[in-house]
Amino acid sequence: MNRKMWEHPATQRNVAQLVADGVALLGPATGEQACGEVGLGRMLEVEELYAALVAFLQPKSLAGRRVLLTAGPTFEALDPVRGLTNRSSGKMGFALARACAEAGADVTLVAGPVSLATPIGVRRIDVTSALEMREAVLAQLPTDIFIGVAAVADYRPAAPAAHKIKKGAPTLSLELVANPDILAEVAARPDAPFCVGFAAESQQLAEYAEAKRRIKRLPLVVGNLVQDGLGGETNTVTLFDAAGAHPLPPGDKLEIARAIVRHIAEMSHAHD
């Protein structure tokens, strides 16, 4: 249908009745229509319809739960042009946000600077720096589950330059200060949610991931080697909890995310 057909009062009354009766509606999408109108009324793309149907059929293991996630890198400004960041694409965090929403959770995603579409049914808060990410996370608490997927910069410039730093000197010295540990801060709260950490390592994965879990007192850490997942479409992860290490089969990041969500659902319900 076109924009005027969708906006017609009779159509809106029927839509409202369907929703009240518990019918799930897919679309409409917005955009250019065959008649020349622009607006709501287009059918969703086939890929979007397929994704929505797959999501609808996923077990609702997190129904009634509030989930807060972080994803992507942070960008710590050196001057108005340059900054310190990392190669995190945000794809794993966005896949987890989608998997949590599929599982019936009320999902809020705090995203660093990435170029990814917001998963259906997910509220998104865009931030740039680690300090902004911390502020956004704390503003969304309390929550039932917190998943810290973001690759938060460990350090930031102590005094970012007000103007672009001009080249000329053969060397440049930077004073860096530590950024807050968002995950550790959330996990240490009196009203701490069920916290899940991520450990992306280049070596000694089991040793470093388990140490992170114990030091921050986390029930679960998801670990991977950066060469297996950073920036790509697939990943290979191991889940570390009090019962030991649980390797997951390699797969695309959405498959991995759904497996992680199943583990989180089992653990968080037992935690209650």
Q: Is 18 within a domain?
A: no
pLDDT of residue 229: 66
pLDDT of residue 48: 86
Number of domains in the chain: 1
100 catalytically annotated: no
pLDDT of residue 272: 63
Domain coverage including residue 69: 62-271
Q: Is 3 within a domain?
A: no
Q: Is 41 within a domain?
A: no
pLDDT of residue 240: 97
pLDDT of residue 173: 92
Helix (H, G, I), strand (E, B) or coil at 223: strand
Calpha distance 113→111 (Å, rounded): 7
| Residue 112 near residue 133 (C-beta atoms within 8 A) | yes
Q: Is 104 within a domain?
A: yes
Calpha distance 260→100 (Å, rounded): 10
Q: Which helix or strand (DSSP H or E) is residue 176 part of?
A: strand 176-178
pLDDT of residue 65: 97
Catalytic residue among 16, 19, 29, 35: 35
pLDDT of residue 55: 87
Distances (CA, A) of 12 to 9, 30, 39: 5, 16, 15
Calpha distance 233→97 (Å, rounded): 16
131: CATH: 3.40.50.10300
Per-residue pLDDT of the chain (272 residues; tens, 9 = 90+): 889 999 999 999 999 999 999 998 998 999 888 888 889 989 899 988 988 898 889 999 999 999 999 999 999 999 999 999 999 999 999 999 999 999 999 999 999 999 999 998 899 999 999 999 999 999 999 999 999 999 999 999 999 999 999 988 899 999 999 999 999 999 999 999 999 999 999 999 999 999 999 999 999 999 999 887 677 888 999 999 999 999 999 999 999 999 999 999 999 887 66
Q: Is 12 within a domain?
A: no
Q: Is 154 within a domain?
A: yes
pLDDT of residue 1: 81
Q: DSSP per residue over 101-165, as a string?
A: HHTT-EEEEEE-S---PPPTTEEEEE--SHHHHHHHHHHT-S-SEEEE-SB--SEEESS--SSPP
Both tokens assigned to 150: 């973001």
Whether this prediction's pTM lies above 0.85 is answered by yes
